[in-house]
Chains A and B, each alone.
Chain A
């Protein structure tokens, strides 16, 4: 293709530079070009939230953004939120409260939840359900996902108080 563009993208703090067709969807850039396979593809039609990443401070469905639009952006995926030896509070909480079964939705859930707790550090159950409405789960029935997020919120708030 003649119309490849020069792209700059920062993902989880690391700068990447490459040539890509403008129509490449951000989710494919992450998964297939950069091998960052935490964000999943559930529907590819903007409905399920499995592909959720944080882009310039916003929760975004990476299947609904062209790489050309994301040129210059700063992206955080689940890989930038925690690692196997250093789990984020939300990841620990999902494990503890059985917030996942098959795990397919989990990276999107936790990435969105991390932003939700930034927007609203002390949400009610209803606010968690409303704030997570863009993420679908076919396994858990959501109950334990909500429980995990609420538990993580209290833990994060307690840690903040202890630090003050």
Chain B
């Protein structure tokens, strides 16, 4: 389990990071918590002749909250999220999701930026960020730009980020109302067999709006607009939930792997989404 040799860089500001990315092109990659990248390097599935450590870039750290506007720096860890009472009040779905990622040691290291940037369909944050309609902030040699989380994922490990760009932060407007992140895994610490992020706003006893995204059921996260729409205007009764599940099943495209065959994953996806909607509605 020894990775190929590399040169290590620890720049102290973003300018330094961008310059190194420019200089080394394909040969360079950033490392945040390393808990996706190091396992890949150990397996020699990733070779990184120039490893650029982000740990000293203070501008990527910290959570800022202004009313319902939340901005999370790329280097904020899953542990930081769990440990942030104000974020827990404003956007509790982040804590609920983080608590279902990996184990305590991994959560101390794994960052939100790495989780979102990585592009592994098994990561839990991308689906959550699509559910929240979050914005991903990038910086590159030509300045900064923003990409909607719902437009960010192209295929497994392929995202809208160019190689010379760094993800600096993720921002979103925290929704009021009910929420749930529900995840089925084979054992604690495992990636999802299926997971669902749901938010629901209630008005006059009915669903005013709903947002639904699924994890690890396609080669990208899946925000199912149709599934959310199926709940709107209903009392979130059994028939409405069934319609939302049917709409979601039309949007996902799971493949068989060691978490089970396609039929099983579709079955689990339906159950997980039903539970997530039920819990979000109860909290709405």
Residues on A close to B: CB < 8 A? 1, 3, 5, 21-23, 25, 44-47, 49, 52, 58-61, 63-66, 68-69, 71, 112, 116, 131-134
Which residue of chain B is the closest to A45 with respect to CB atoms? B39
Bound together, the chains give a CA A1 to CA B104 distance in angstroms of 35
Bound together, the chains give a CA A59 to CA B1 distance in angstroms of 22
Residues on B close to A: CB < 8 A? 1-8, 10, 31, 34-35, 38-39, 41-42, 51, 53, 55, 79, 102-106, 108-109, 188-189
Evaluate contact between B1 and A45: CB separation under 8 angstroms: yes
B residues in contact with A59, CB < 8 Å: 104-105, 108
Evaluate contact between B79 and A58: CB separation under 8 angstroms: yes
Evaluate contact between A68 and B5: CB separation under 8 angstroms: no
Evaluate contact between A49 and B34: CB separation under 8 angstroms: no
Residue of B39, B41, B103 most packed against chain A (CB within 10 A)? B103
Which residue of chain B is the closest to A21 with respect to CB atoms? B5
Report the minimum CB–CB distance from B153 to chain A (whole Å).
24
Which residue of chain A is the closest to B77 with respect to CB atoms? A58
Report the minimum CB–CB distance from B258 to chain A (whole Å).
14
Evaluate contact between A65 and B34: CB separation under 8 angstroms: yes
Q: Which of B5, B53, B105 contacts A134 (CB 8 A)?
A: B105
What are 22 pairs between A and B in contact, CB < 8 Å? A3-B8, A22-B5, A22-B7, A23-B41, A44-B1, A46-B35, A46-B39, A52-B105, A58-B109, A59-B104, A60-B109, A65-B34, A66-B8, A66-B38, A68-B10, A68-B53, A112-B105, A116-B104, A132-B104, A133-B104, A134-B102, A134-B189
Known: A23-B2, A65-B34. 10 other contacts (CB 8 A): A44-B42, A46-B35, A46-B106, A58-B108, A58-B109, A59-B104, A64-B34, A64-B38, A65-B38, A134-B189
